[in-house]
Chains A and B, each alone.
Chain A
Amino acid sequence: MTRTPLDDEPRFPMSPWRFSGLVCGAAMNHRGQLAALGAAAHQPPYKAPPRGVVLYIKPRNTLTAAGGAALVDDDVPELDVGAALGLVIGRTACAVSIDDALDHLAGAIVVADFSAPYDSHFRPQIRFKARDASCAFGPGVVALDEAGDIDALGVRVFVDGRLAHETSTGDRVRGAAQLIADVSDFMTLSPGDVLLTGIAPGAPRVGAGAIVVVEIDGLGRLETRVAKVAGSP
Chain B
Amino acid sequence: MKRARVAFAGQLHEATEAAESGRLRLADGRVVGEEQVVWLPPVEAGTLVALGLNYADHAKELAFKAQDEPLVFLKSANALVGHRGRTRRPADATFMHYECELAVVIGRTARHVRRADARDHVAGYTIANDYAIRDYLENWYRPNLRVKNRDGATALGPWLVDAEDVPWPPQLALSTFVDGRLTQSGNTRDLVFDIAYLIEYLSAFMTLSAGDVILTGTPEGVVDVGVGAEVVCEIEGLGRLVNTLVGDEAFGRRPHSGGPV
Contacts and interface: CB of A to CB of B under 8 A. Distances in A.
B150 A187 contact: yes
Nearest to A22: B76
Chain B interface helix/strand/loop/mixed: loop
Given A121-B141, A182-B261, A56 B205 contact: no
B208 to A, nearest CB: 7
Contact of B140 (A24, A121, A186, A232): A121
Contacts of A233: 112, 114
Contacts of A53: 146, 261
Given A51-B259, A95-B253, A182-B261, A57 B75 contact: yes
A2 interface: no
B152 to A, nearest CB: 9
Nearest to B139: A46
B206 interface: yes
A56 B207 contact: no
Interface string B83-123: 00000000000000000000000000001101000000000
A74 to B, nearest CB: 12
A207 interface: no
A124 interface: yes
Contact of A130 (B74, B112, B138, B142): B74
A94 interface: yes
Given A47-B139, A126-B73, A55 B207 contact: no
Chain A interface helix/strand/loop/mixed: loop
A60 interface: yes
Given A54-B141, A54-B144, A190-B78, A61 B112 contact: no
Contacts of A125: 69, 71-72
A167 B134 CA distance: 36
Contacts of B69: 125
Interface string A25-45: 001100000000000000001
A131 B136 contact: no
B43 to A, nearest CB: 14
B146 A186 contact: yes
A76 B206 CA distance: 13
B47 A188 contact: no
B145 A24 contact: yes
B150 A131 contact: no
Contacts of A201: none
Most chain A beta-carbon contacts within 10 A, residue among B77, B114, B141: B141
B46 interface: yes
A122 B140 contact: yes
For chain B, the bracket of interface size reads 35 or more
Interface string B56-83: 0000000000000101111111110000
B209 interface: yes
Contacts of A76: 205
A76 B131 CA distance: 34
A124 B142 CA distance: 8
Contact of B141 (A27, A47, A48, A131): A27
A216 to B, nearest CB: 24
A47 B145 CA distance: 19
Contacts of A95: 253
Nearest to A1: B207
A55 B139 contact: no
Contacts of A52: 136, 138, 144, 146, 260-261
Interface string A118-162: 000111111100111000000000000000000000000000000
A187 B74 contact: no
A51 B138 contact: yes
Contacts of B145: 24, 55-57, 186-187
Interface of A: 1, 21-22, 24, 27-28, 45-48, 50-57, 59-62, 76, 94-95, 121-127, 130-132, 181-182, 185-190, 232-233
Given A54-B144, A55-B145, A132-B111, 6 more contacts: A48-B139, A51-B260, A123-B141, A126-B49, A131-B206, A186-B149
5 contacts: A27-B140, A50-B138, A51-B259, A54-B138, A187-B149
The 3 closest A-B pairs by CB, nearest first: A59-B47, A52-B260, A57-B74
